[in-house]
Amino acid sequence: MARRKSPKNNPGMDQAVSPGNGSAFSDAANLVESMAVARVARVKSVLTDSRANLIPIDLDGEIRRLAYLLSEQRGFEPGHETEDWLNAEREVLGRTEQQRA
């Protein structure tokens, strides 16, 4: 029966991934840090944007849900799908316009 091989100690490999080496590890750490700084800068710019107080909403999803509710109130009577969609669209877009004002 063959013996299981244990990993060999390779001092060169240990040095390549150690934080004190300053090679690939420090490059990756610097990259991660610069990405985090860039992300914070983007968040700050969004917060100072004049539109930051608006609540982001999925307009298509809201219209779809309201059109379904309108159809449900009608008892899912066929032939009124476009009417339900347009009424829902008018209402949802009207609400978002009121929020912007």
Answer yes or no: do 47 and 66 share one domain. Answer: no
| Statement to judge: residues 39 and 70 lie in one domain | no
74 and 41 in one domain?
A: no
Q: Establish if 15 belongs to a structural domain.
A: no
Sort 12 into a burial class: Cβ within 10 Å, 0-12 / 13-18 / 19+: exposed
pLDDT tens by residue, 10-43 = 555 544 444 555 566 677 777 777 777 777 666 5
CB proximity list for 63: less than 8 A, separation 6 or greater: 85, 88, 89, 92
Q: Is residue 25 part of a domain?
A: yes
Tell me the per-residue pLDDT of 33-78, one tens digit each, with 9 for 90 and over.
777 777 766 656 555 555 555 555 788 999 999 999 999 999 999 9
| 35 and 63 fall within a common domain | no
Which domain, by its residues, includes 41?
A: 20-52
d(CA 26, CA 32): 10
Q: How many domains in the chain?
A: 2
In a domain, 36, yes or no: yes
Q: Please tell me whether residues 47 and 74 are part of one structural domain.
A: no
Could you tell me if residue 35 is inside a domain? yes
